Amino acid sequence: MKLTRRTFIKLAGAAGVAGCAPGDEIASTDGEVPEDFDAGPDEIFDAAPIDPDAKTFDDVDDAARDDAATDGAVTDGAADAGAPLDAAADVPVDAPRDAGVDVPRDVPRDVGTDSGARVDAGRDAGPTINPDFRGLPDRPGQFPIGVMAGDATADSIIFWTRYDGDAALTLRVLEMDGSRIVAMRFNGRVTPSGAGYVRAIVTGLRPNKQHLYAFLLGGATSPNARSLVGRVQTAIAADSMATVTFAGTSCSNQSNRPFPVLQHAGSRTDLDFFIHAGDHTYTDHGDNATTLGQYRGKYAENWGSAGLKSLHRSTGMYLTWDDHEVFNNWNPETVSAARLAAARQAFFEHRATRRSATDANRIWRSFRWGRSAEIFILDCRSERRPSTRSLNPSRNSQYLSRTQMNWLKAGLRESPCVFKFIVSSVPIVDRAGADSDNWNGYASQRQEILSHINNNNLRGVVWLSGDVHFGGVCSVEASGPWSDIWEVIMGPAGANRDGRPPVRESQFPVLVHNVHNYTVLRANPTTRTLDVEFINAAGHRIAGSHWSRRL
């Protein structure tokens, strides 16, 4: 069943997002706004149920299967080289290909495999000879900036692309067991916006299941071409205590395209999800974007790179923004309302990121992976008040709105999860050489959240950040009650710095600089152990970058 944009405005992006209470009024968008401004909502669809009476995919006639697929799938350059996503051959989608990184996958974790794999030809689809789309030719000209899926819960996912075409478009979602199709969970028409962006939420999926998806041309029953094929996993079941393996980075400046380090990250098949902590694109690289059209152009420039297309299709995304999605160190108190509205719209147009049912502009949200981990994604830019900035904790300053701060504190206190990861685009560590643009410049709120963690004896809290163009693992204070609160600074994926950053050696057991990287984290809730390592563009662990600790 399809729930249309017009009918369910109030439901936009709400499915499965935990902990989003009504927010404070933030930067005003009164006055001039982009002509084609669209605050949502997203299309919401029900997945087809698993039908035990349906014919198994293995029973489909081989000849019909061959007829339904075309030979010689068109690939998208280096990002697709050797990728099983586009090949109908029997290559397990969950077998690690980067064996040198030594990151075995933990599958199945809480849901047994279905030995009687079946095809369920979704309710909106009609009869389909062959659900497998991997052999269809890719049409990169009609999907120029790739595909993405994200904000996964245990039973729903949002799917994204930009479509440059006029024909009807179908989204097909396949539940997989290795390379074998278990069921066609959705196969129905999706509606691009006037500018071609597709944002569709599919609900009713099963926990801890791998899915392949693609956007199809030529009709739902007999498509003749497709987008890139993407992979995404639903979160583990609510009571699961499975190990969660994920990765993250920050700061992907267009000047470093095609982002070879992200091409490697995109080749992995062992990641449950990927976090980009902000500065995902630099809309102020070269000339500054100020209008919606200019912001879209900046995204198209970056999203069309081989590295980002490879990453975005490879696993589910959890994303936030930092400053360069608007412009460097922008001030919410003085920024043009029209410019901020354009930047915010472009942000949502280019991401598989849900929009809040109560505040479509809100970026902060949280997601649980069983009882293993909860991911708290902050907005550390649009709610800050630089006029209140102070290094004195006795003076009230605002880095987060009071509503976002209260939501974060309550979420951390009430979370049943062993690990509580806070995605903060800017670091919270008190380090040598830090400036007042980060949490340190808003000392009262920094003290408030760190004291909340310490005073409530909240174990397993780890900050994940970016922004500073170097990576590392650090304690947020050199000594004192907060010195056992840890932060992982991720990236950069494609931004440079000159020389070694000023840090206190005692705080940084790991420091990575002058090398583009992404960070792999393995959170084992049974042992309460977090393992962290930083990976370079060749797929190798950077020397001295491994860190492990029981939290």
Predicted confidence band at 265 (pLDDT cuts at 50, 70, 90)? very high
- Residue pLDDT, tens place only, 320-348: 999 999 999 999 999 999 999 999 999 99
**What token pair was written down for 396?**
């009230």
Q: How far apart are CA 46 and CA 159, in angstroms?
A: 13
Helix (H, G, I), strand (E, B) or coil at 442: strand
What would the pLDDT profile of 54-68 be if each residue is shown by its tens digit? 554 544 434 333 333
In this predicted structure, what is the pLDDT of residue 434? 75
Burial 524-547 (b: 16+ CB within 10 A, else e): bbeeeebbbbbbbbebebbeebeb
pLDDT tens across 23-78, in order?
333 333 334 444 455 555 789 999 999 876 655 454 443 433 333 333 333 233 33
Q: Give per-residue burial for 88-107: e unless 16+ CB within 10 Å, then b.
A: beebbbbebbbeebebebeb
DSSP letter at 79 equals G
Residues 6 or more apart whose Cβ sits within 8 Å of residue 154: 16, 205, 207, 208, 234, 235, 236, 237, 238, 368, 370
Residues 388-398: tens digit of each pLDDT:
999 999 999 99
Strand 169-177 and strand 180-190: the pairing is: antiparallel
Q: Please check whether residue 362 is in contact with residue 379, taking contact to mean a CB–CB distance below 8 angstroms.
A: yes
Alpha helix stretches (DSSP H) within 383-513: 402-414, 443-455
Single-letter code of the amino acid located at 200: A
What tokens appear for 256 in the block? 């470093």
Per-residue pLDDT tens for 375-419? 999 999 999 999 999 999 999 999 999 999 999 999 999 999 999
Phi, psi of 250 (to 5 degrees): -160, 170
Residue 432: per-residue pLDDT: 84
Cβ–Cβ < 8 Å for 457, 482: no
Is the per-residue pLDDT at 224 higher than 80? Answer: yes
Give pTM, 2 decimals: 0.85
